Amino acid sequence: MSTSAKILVVDDEEDLELLMRQRFRRQVRRGEYEFYFAHNGREALDVLGENPDIRLVLSDINMPVMDGLTLLSQLAEIEANISAVVVSAYGDMANIRTAMNRGAFDFVTKPIDFSDLQVTVEKTLRHIQVLEDALVSRDRLVALRQELVVASQVQTSVLPAALPVTEHFDVHAQMTPAREIGGDFYDFFSVDEYRMGLVIADVSDKGIPAALFTMVSRALLKAAARNHVSPSACLHEVNQLVSQDNDACMFVTLFYAVLDLRDGNLRYCNGGHNPPRLISRGEIREVPSTGDIALGIFMEHEFHDNEVVLGVGDALFLYTDGITEACNVAEEEFGEKRLDEMLERTGDASISDVVAEVVGAVEEFAGGVAQFDDMTCLAVRLNSTKPA
Amino acid sequence: MANQSNLTVPSVEQDNAVVLCPTGRVDGTNVTILQGAVRERLEAGQANIVFDLADLNYISSAGLRVFLMAARDLQGQGGRAAFCNLSEQIRQVFEITGFDKILSVHGNRDDALSTF
């Protein structure tokens, strides 16, 4: 630390001031110590009031007006982070015991052995430094917790409160946030009378900036979905907006699809997200890539649409990498193979059971190991087509 | 946090570039280690950095963001970033996210160095 240690010496002997300055002149000259002096407890409290950064008090016990033991009680009451070392006559064990019980950190005896005093001062200053470091850590921790609470509220607020319900499809989603908040989100909404929009996305990084980026991305996509029928046109628009002034190089991997309930046609664009799975008669297929990139990294990128068709009874399973990259104790990943095996096994189970079984399998695999990423999945099954 | 010990970033100077070899896992808990290693080189005025990823087992999106920033900041200094020796797993992450289209990715270190 560059600042000097501020030490208050409290003693009614006038010549102690001179003696201290003399004995510790090197430390004072080097700027390591800075001394303050008071002649009794009352004066000491005044000096402390004027100099709140004093952390070490060396105090005599027997003094007029306010003695050292009373001063110690006062110090304890004002809850300042001050460590006190008492100076007392040799053999005055009763007072020393009382002082220690009132919170003194250490004691030295009179006549003062200055080399012993120096060792004691240094030891106490180290102790003070440890205390201060701990306080800084505690403050950081409090700030961090605060940030996480806010981020978690933000993240929950970006998820749809309720998913739309009709006889034509079943839909279910689940998000398990990591301990440190990330930026997964999903969405499912009506584009028009016949078409549903499906979104799953994962924002890079953690914390408040990521959560805000998540909110912005979701809002922009929803706005774009109103303007364009083509998913690639929507991603193009969002990409343009989030790439501007993106100093922090944040990005979002985002899959957006429009499901036409009239014929099960699914038109989609995949901006750098893990490929969703198409579940058709017990067979699992990856939804083919559109050769696109995450949003926010390259403004000039041209996005592409692709199409697959969902037959009646077919389902689409979308997920974030928190699912496939969940780790167990041996640091193995859950992986896509296990995911596909799970999906194969779920067969005709209801769509909410499919989601629950996958999440359950991932959690069982992880075996209680804390995960660093959110786990999100969204699944939709087409029950019937909607007559045009 | 527990994972901090799982990442080291040894470096070697080679030709007119420095080669950084992130070793272990990069995730949200230790990404500042990678970030620090890159920043140190940027501040020293290093123009070209090769990221040799042979010993990188895992990278989260937070780590990819550092790569992206490195590429941009080096370009701002008139230099470049190149990436090489991607394991199958890392290559897949680059491909899915499209980073292989944005970043300069090469098979081996010599190929990466020869692009400067």
| Full DSSP string of A206-239 | -HHHHHHHHHHHHHHHHHHHHH-SSHHHHHHHHH
Question: Chain B: nearest CA to A7, how far in angstroms?
Answer: 36
- Which residues of chain B are within 8 Å of residue A298 when distances are taken between CB atoms? 101-102
Chain B interface includes A293 (CB < 8 A): yes
B72 with A249: Cβ contact below 8 A: yes
Instruction: Please report the pLDDT score of residue A276 as a whole number.
Output: 98
Question: What would the DSSP string read from start to end of A34-53?
Answer: EEEEESSHHHHHHHHHH-TT
Fold of B2-113: Transcription Regulator spoIIAA (3.30.750)
Q: Which two tokens stand for residue A245?
A: 């002034």
Instruction: Please report the pLDDT score of residue B1 as a whole number.
Output: 38
Amino acid occupying residue B82? A
Instruction: Please report the pLDDT score of residue A385 as a whole number.
Output: 95
CA distance A195 to A183: 26
Residue A256 pairs in a beta bridge with A199, A269
Question: Chain B: nearest CA to A54, how far in angstroms?
Answer: 34
Q: Which two tokens stand for residue A33?
A: 């110590």
Instruction: Please report the pLDDT score of residue A181 as a whole number.
Output: 63
Q: Closest partner residue to B102 among A202, A250, A297, by Cβ?
A: A297
Q: Which two tokens stand for residue A195?
A: 């078409």
Count residue pairs from A and B with Cβ separation < 8 A. Answer: 68
Q: Closest partner residue to B60 among A275, A294, A373, by Cβ?
A: A373
Closest CA to B60 of A24, A303, A326, A128: A326
Q: Which two tokens stand for residue A304?
A: 């592409």
B98 with A274: Cβ contact below 8 A: no
Residues A121-166 have pLDDT tens digits of 999 999 888 888 888 888 887 777 776 677 667 667 778 878 888 8
Q: Provide CATH code, domain A158-382.
A: 3.60.40.10
Q: Which is it for the CA torsion A307, A308, A310, A311, positive or negative?
A: positive
Provide the residue-wise pLDDT of chain A in tens; the chain has 388 residues. Answer: 447 899 999 999 888 898 899 989 999 999 999 999 999 999 999 998 888 889 899 999 988 888 898 998 888 877 667 899 999 887 788 888 888 888 888 899 888 888 889 999 999 999 888 888 888 888 887 777 776 677 667 667 778 878 888 899 999 999 887 766 668 889 999 999 999 999 999 998 777 778 778 888 988 999 999 899 999 999 999 999 999 988 889 999 999 999 999 999 999 999 999 999 999 998 999 999 999 999 999 999 999 999 999 999 999 999 999 999 998 988 889 999 999 999 998 877 899 999 999 999 999 999 988 777 888 999 999 999 999 8
- Which residues of chain A are within 8 Å of residue B31 when distances are taken between CB atoms? 205
Instruction: Please report the pLDDT score of residue A130 as a whole number.
Output: 86
Q: Closest partner residue to B98 among A206, A294, A373, by Cβ?
A: A294
Q: From B94, which residue of chain A is nearest by alpha-carbon distance?
A: A272
Instruction: Please report the pLDDT score of residue B56 as a whole number.
Output: 96
Q: Closest partner residue to A249 among B27, B28, B65, by Cβ?
A: B65
Amino acid occupying residue A361? A
* Domain spans in chain A, listed from the N-terminal domain onward: 5-141, 158-382
Fold of A5-141: Rossmann fold (3.40.50)
A294 with B58: Cβ contact below 8 A: no
Residues A209-236 have pLDDT tens digits of 787 788 889 889 999 998 999 999 999 9
- Which residues of chain B are within 8 Å of residue A372 when distances are taken between CB atoms? 3, 27-29, 60
Strands (E), A116-182: 169-176
How many CB atoms neighbour CB B46 within 10 A?
19
A292 with B98: Cβ contact below 8 A: yes
Instruction: Please report the pLDDT score of residue A165 as a whole number.
Output: 82
Q: From B24, which residue of chain A is nearest by alpha-carbon distance?
A: A331
B99 with A298: Cβ contact below 8 A: no
Q: Is A254 exposed, middle or buried (0-12, 13-18, 19+ CB in 10 A)?
A: buried
B72 with A251: Cβ contact below 8 A: no
As for the ipTM of the complex, it is 0.89
Length of chain A: 388
In this prediction, residues B27-34 reach a mean pLDDT of 88
Chain B interface includes A253 (CB < 8 A): yes
Greatest extent of chain A over all pairs of C-alpha atoms, in Å: 102
Where residue B3 falls among pLDDT bands split at 50, 70, 90? Answer: very low
Q: Provide the 3-class DSSP secondary structure of residue A140.
A: helix
A202 with B61: Cβ contact below 8 A: yes
Eight-class DSSP state of A149: H
- Which residues of chain A are within 8 Å of residue B96 when distances are taken between CB atoms? 253, 272-275, 289
A205 with B72: Cβ contact below 8 A: no
Interface of B to A at Cβ within 8 Å reads 3, 27-29, 31, 58, 60-62, 64-65, 68-69, 72, 96-99, 101-102
* Domain spans in chain B, listed from the N-terminal domain onward: 2-113
Q: Is A149 exposed, middle or buried (0-12, 13-18, 19+ CB in 10 A)?
A: exposed
Count Cα neighbours of A217 within 13 Å in the Cβ-side half-sphere. 37
Residue A136 phi, psi dihedral angles, 5° rounding: -60, -45
Instruction: Please report the pLDDT score of residue A180 as a whole number.
Output: 62
pTM over 0.80: no
